[in-house]
Amino acid sequence: MKITMPKKNKKQLEDIAKSFKIGRNSNPQETIKLLDRLNFYTEDKAISLVNYFVTIETNPDILLRLLQFIQKFNDKSSVSCLIDLLLLQNEYFEKYENRNTYDKVRSTAVRILGNLKDNNAVDSLLYVLNNNKESYKLRLDAADALARIGDTYAVPSLINVASDDKENSVYVRESAVKALGLLGDIRAVDPFIKILEKNKAVAEKFKYLREQIVRAIGRLGTCDERTIRALEQALLDESPHVRIEALDALSQVDNERIQEIIEPFILDKEEIVARTAIGALYDVAGREYLEDLLEKDDLPEHCKDEIVLIFEEEDEEDG
Place 105 in a pLDDT band, splitting at 50, 70 and 90.
Answer: very high
Distance CA 293, CA 298 (A): 10
d(CA 4, CA 202): 53
83 CB contacts (<8 Å, ≥6 apart)?
Answer: 1, 89, 113, 120, 121, 124
Of 38, 57, 33, 63, residue with least CA distance to 48: 38
Q: State the pLDDT at residue 7.
A: 54
Tens-place pLDDT, residues 255-289: 899 999 999 999 999 999 999 999 999 999 999 99
Q: What is residue 130's DSSP assignment?
A: T
What pLDDT shows up at residue 127?
A: 96
**pLDDT bucket at 10, cuts 50 / 70 / 90:** confident
User: Which of these ranges, 2-11, 106-115, 146-155, 199-208, has the smallest mean pLDDT?
Assistant: 2-11
pLDDT-based confidence at residue 5 (cuts at 50, 70, 90): very low
Is the pLDDT higher at 314 or at 112? 112
Cβ-Cβ contacts under 8 Å for 178 (sequence gap 6 or more): 143, 144, 147, 212, 215, 216
Average pLDDT over residues 218-234: 86
pLDDT at 203 over 90: no
Q: Give the tens place of pLDDT for each residue, 30-72.
A: 999 999 999 999 999 999 999 999 999 989 999 999 999 999 9
* pLDDT higher than 60, residue 95: no
For residue 205, the model assigns a pLDDT of 63
Report the pLDDT value the prediction gives residue 2, as an integer from 0 to 100: 40
Q: Chain-wide mean pLDDT for the chain?
A: 90
Are the C-beta atoms of residues 147 and 179 closer than 8 Å to each other?
yes
Residues 6+ apart with CB under 8 A from 277: 247, 262, 263, 265, 266, 268
Task: Please compute the mean of the pLDDT values over residues 286-294 and round it to a whole number.
Answer: 95
Is 248:281 a contact under the CB 8 Å cutoff?
no
Longest CA–CA span in the chain (Å) reads 85
Q: Quick check: 224 pLDDT over 90?
A: no
pLDDT value at position 3? 42
Sorted by where each starts, the structural domains of the chain and their CATH numbers stand as 186-319 (1.25.10.10)
Mean pLDDT of the region 18-41 = 91
Checking if the pLDDT of 23 tops 90, the result is: no
More confident residue, 315 or 123: 123
* Percent of residues, the chain, with pLDDT higher than 70: 92
Cβ neighbours, 10 Å, residue 130: 16
Checking if the pLDDT of 93 tops 50, the result is yes
